Structure 1
Amino acid sequence: MYALFKGEKQIGNPFPTEKEVWEAALSEGLVSDIPVADEEGGQVIPKGYHVAHVADV
């Protein structure tokens, strides 16, 4: 399971995939755009936000 974090605080419900986390955050207005890969293969995400693996509940 994956969840959205701002800093070290989890701010969203967990989802089975990272894609579902970003889609939920976008639809709830938590972020303004779903991240895309940049030219170097990394992620471009809103500052302070990240998706991390969380323990399955």
Structure 2
Amino acid sequence: MPYALFSNAVQVSNAFATKSEVWQHAAARGLVIEVGSGEEDPPRRILDMGYSIHACADLAPITDSAEHGESDIARLIAAGAFNLTSAAAAS
């Protein structure tokens, strides 16, 4: 079953064969953060606010430059579903 990265219920990445590949894709785009719950516990990796990983339909890959980074942004803009909280935090 393929998986993809979603932002506010809109698919924003190509489909990947495993969840692990989606995590790698999200990390490469700066969407993974580490949070610690205490001094003794190791930090956990979580997706930036508004992002999630879900099963998706197996679609043909989108071919854009920068390893689909531009298509990710174009999908968010077209859907009007970009994450304003994350955008404000990044600036």
Paired position in structure 1 for 2:33: 33
Paired position in structure 1 for 2:55: 53
Residue 5 of structure 1 deviates from its aligned partner by: 0.3
Residue 26 of structure 1 deviates from its aligned partner by: 1.2
Aligned positions, number: 49
TM-score, normalised via structure 2 length: 0.45
Output the CA distance in 2 between the equivalents of 1:44 and 1:22.
9
Q: Which has the higher contact order (CA 8 A, sep 6+)?
A: 1
Is the Cα contact below 8 Å between 1:4 and 1:11 reproduced in 2? Answer: yes
Is the partner of 1:13 in helix, strand or coil? coil
Once the two structures are aligned, what percentage of the paired residues are identical? 35
Output the CA distance in 2 between the equivalents of 1:25 and 1:44.
10
Gaps of 5+ in 1: none
Residue 13 of structure 1 deviates from its aligned partner by: 1.1
Paired position in structure 1 for 2:18: 17
- Sort the Cα spacing of 1:20 and 1:56 in 2 relative to 1 into closer, same or farther, 3 A: same
- Which entry has the higher C-alpha Rg, 1 or 2? 2
Is the partner of 1:26 in helix, strand or coil? helix
The structure whose residues are more often strand, as a share, is: 1
